[in-house]
């Protein structure tokens, strides 16, 4: 997987202050509106907005902490809001919504934790790929979508952009096109195949014979193949 393409707000730590400011402002205005409206008007439901914004913070405990703050503010506004219904009924309403807030915050905190774990796992995978002693290429729809540093050296490419987007068949010796297409098709169907003594054409026009291990994978949600290149 290409972790450079990973889009997840938890990783955007430079946005922490901005998102926290949005949450603070939203909470402040909701509280002001709540204490200026009658108890029977359920303005406090709007606290769900800043609660869901906590998913954009890098702190996984933010939903739980903010939920505690919201519950305290709801308790304060219970006594400051103009009374148009009984205190008991208003208390029951807010207690029920406080429970909803707690449940929602637990789900949000769990979601953040899971995605952070995924991001960490992808970063470790990327590190292993980047430092692998073997060339690794990802081919999506016949085009090279990713190549690690060792793969770049196999092809004698500099810079990396000389390979990304190229048709993989263009870097295979013409005599090996048929067998390569066959093995690639098998891999897309789920097979793990080896292809020995494949000649690849380097950027300077020379060729080098390598062994290839071809396996299926997903790239940006689409079926692709991963090719591991090694010296024969």
**Joined tokens for residue 167:** 């048709």
Are the C-beta atoms of 177 and 198 separated by less than 8 Å?
A: no
Report the CATH number at residue 153. Answer: 3.30.450.20
Cβ burial of 215 (10 Å; 0-12, 13-18, 19+) is middle
Cβ burial of 173 (10 Å; 0-12, 13-18, 19+) is middle
> Could you tell me if 124 and 144 lie in one domain?
no
> Could you tell me if 13 and 120 lie in one domain?
yes
pLDDT (0 to 100) of residue 155: 85
- Report the SS3 class of residue 208: strand
CA distance 207 to 53: 54
pLDDT (0 to 100) of residue 9: 45
- At 4-20, the pLDDT tens digits run 443 444 444 557 888 88
Beta-carbon contacts of 81 under 8 Å, excluding residues fewer than 6 positions away, are 34, 35, 36, 37, 38, 39, 90
What is the count of structural domains for the chain? 2
> Could you tell me if 89 and 114 lie in one domain?
yes
Are the C-beta atoms of 70 and 101 separated by less than 8 Å?
A: yes
> Could you tell me if 216 and 114 lie in one domain?
no
List residues bridging with 231 in a β-sheet.
Answer: 210
> Could you tell me if 45 and 21 lie in one domain?
yes
What is the 8-class DSSP label of residue 47? G
CA distance 151 to 156: 9
> Could you tell me if 124 and 141 lie in one domain?
no
- At 135-162, the pLDDT tens digits run 999 999 999 999 988 888 888 866 656 7
Q: What is the span of the domain harbouring residue 33?
A: 3-128
pLDDT (0 to 100) of residue 1: 39
> Could you tell me if 94 and 150 lie in one domain?
no
Are the C-beta atoms of 170 and 162 separated by less than 8 Å?
A: no
Task: For the chain of 232 residues, list the mean pLDDT of each consecutive stretch of 10.
Answer: 41 70 95 93 92 86 94 94 91 93 92 79 79 89 90 77 84 89 91 88 86 91 91 78
Residue located via tokens 């098709």: 185
CA distance 212 to 191: 14
């Amino acid at each position: 997987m290409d972790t450079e393409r990973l889009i997840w707000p938890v990783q955007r730590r430079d946005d922490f202050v901005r998102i926290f400011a949005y949450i603070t402002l939203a909470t402040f205005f909701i509280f002001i509106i709540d204490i200026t409206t009658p108890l029977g008007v359920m303005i406090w439901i709007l606290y769900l907005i800043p609660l869901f914004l906590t998913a954009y913070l890098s702190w996984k405990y933010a939903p739980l902490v903010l939920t505690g703050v919201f519950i305290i503010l709801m308790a304060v506004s219970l006594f400051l809001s103009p009374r148009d219904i009984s205190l008991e009924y208003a208390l029951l309403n807010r207690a029920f919504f406080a429970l909803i807030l707690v449940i929602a915050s637990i789900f949000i905190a769990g979601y953040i934790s899971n995605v952070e774990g995924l991001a960490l796992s992808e970063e470790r995978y990327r590190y292993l790929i980047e430092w692998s002693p073997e060339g690794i290429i990802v081919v999506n729809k016949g085009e090279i979508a990713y190549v690690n540093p060792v793969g770049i050296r196999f092809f004698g490419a500099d810079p990396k952009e000389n390979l990304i987007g190229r048709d993989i068949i263009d870097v295979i010796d013409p005599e090996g096109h048929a067998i390569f297409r066959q093995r690639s098709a098998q891999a897309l169907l789920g097979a793990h195949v080896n292809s020995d003594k494949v000649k690849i054409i380097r950027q300077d026009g020379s060729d080098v014979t390598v062994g290839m291990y071809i396996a299926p994978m997903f790239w940006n949600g689409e079926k692709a193949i991963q090719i591991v290149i090694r010296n024969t």
